[in-house]
Structure 1
Amino acid sequence: MPTPESATTPLHFADHTPDSAPAAARPALEAITKHLGYLPTGAARLATSPHLLDGFRKLSALFESTTLDPLSREVVILTIATRNACHLCVAMHTAKLTLLTAPSDTTATPESAPLSPLISALRAQRALPDTRLEELRRFTLAVLDTAGDVPPAALQSFLAHGYTPQNALEVVLGIGTYTMSTLANRLTQAPVDAPLAPYAWHPSPQTETTQTP
């Protein structure tokens, strides 16, 4: 299976600009470009479906407004992104989590700083050094692995680590939102853009194997 790093632009998913995109997608592309300072190729390709692009942006904003704290939200996202082997999502949220966890007094630029133990563990799909965040990672995987039919003991363990029933449902919202984006990015073979190159990720062979029936 070709990877985003090696694939050419798929025939069916153009690298749109605000000028070439369907009219309904142009405001979103303009807003993304203004926010990031560049237009990610992933967003440019998603613009082929204005409905999907708009739906993801709205769901992402909803997830960002949940009662899960920013660090917990990124743990959920990176758990999904690595499980689904979405190179772009892992790179993008590695960058975001690096900024989120960087010491306030650091003099190194985020892209030149070594990855924290938390980020390294998330990218390697290993147990996290923080017990509470590890419980969140395990609960996210349990929801995915059981299609929501989480065993009572697993739910109780999640709640016992200080999370709430509302948080449990917010994890489901995060799963829905980022299942959409990871599958869409894989379908369009969205590459990792130059600003995210320092955070590029390569899944283990086991991760890639799980994507093929």
Structure 2
Amino acid sequence: MSRPYFPAHTLDSAPAAAHAAMESTQRHFGHLPEAVGKMAESPELLTGFLDLSARFERSSLDQLAREVVVLTIATRNVCHLCVAMHTAKLTKLGADPALIEALRTGTPLPDPRLAAVRAFTLELLATAGAASPEALDAFLAHGFTPRNALEVVLGIGTYTLSTFANRLTDAQPDAQLAAFAWEPAGV
């Protein structure tokens, strides 16, 4: 579905307050992703997401655990763009293909520690943050800390913002992500 209300801005058409974030993203990726151009309609949304994303990347959760949080949110919220982008990221990191496939399909994860991250993320989503003591204990039993539990909340907030914005604006994966295209099971 086309959303004419949300053009894929360029540096020439975007609000001035979005330029620095767009330029930084373009330098990082080597191109300006469509989603960034669409988010630029609201410089506050764009800079807020990029700031939160950078903070999540600096959290004490390890990289694979962070990606489990992101892909759990992305598949749950049916964000084709986020699933493709983070599949590409995991592939570049050399992650186990079985892990990537399980994250994309919602099947059991081969790593119990990462399965605990997914389960805790889903518990937080299902309970609007009011995780049961048992769910928190199960997460902590896999070597995670109370700080990590709060960082999962940060990831949920960050990528809920992203997936909602991408779906609202109908942002599509860029051509570079074609090999990582995703459709939810049953479609």
Q: Which interval holds the TM-score relative to the shorter structure?
A: over 0.9
For the pair 1:139 / 2:120, whether they are aligned, the reply is yes
Q: Is the 8 A contact 1:46 1:53 kept in 2?
A: yes
Of 150, 153, 165, the match for 1:169: 150
Q: TM-score, normalised by structure 2?
A: 0.97
Looking at structure 1, the residues matched to 34 and 101 of structure 2 have their Cα atoms a distance apart, in angstroms, of 25
For the pair 1:41 / 2:49, whether they are aligned, the reply is no
Looking at structure 1, the residues matched to 76 and 8 of structure 2 have their Cα atoms a distance apart, in angstroms, of 26
Q: Percent identity?
A: 60
Q: Is the 8 A contact 1:71 1:100 kept in 2?
A: no
In our comparison, the structure showing a higher alpha carbon Rg is 1
Of 159, 162, 167, the match for 1:178: 159
The aligned counterpart of 1:128 is 109
For the pair 1:74 / 2:67, whether they are aligned, the reply is yes
RMSD: 1.1
Q: TM-score, normalised by structure 1?
A: 0.86
Looking at structure 1, the residues matched to 139 and 78 of structure 2 have their Cα atoms a distance apart, in angstroms, of 25
How many residue pairs match? The answer is: 187
Aligned counterparts, 1:50-199, within 5 A? 50-101=43-94, 116-199=97-180
Q: Is the 8 A contact 1:94 1:119 kept in 2?
A: yes
Question: How many angstroms does 1:101 deviate by?
Answer: 2.2
AA of the residue aligned to 2:185 = S
Q: Alpha-carbon deviations, 1:143-182, whole Å to 9, x = none?
A: 0001111111111111111100000000000000000000
Matched position secondary structure for 2:22: helix
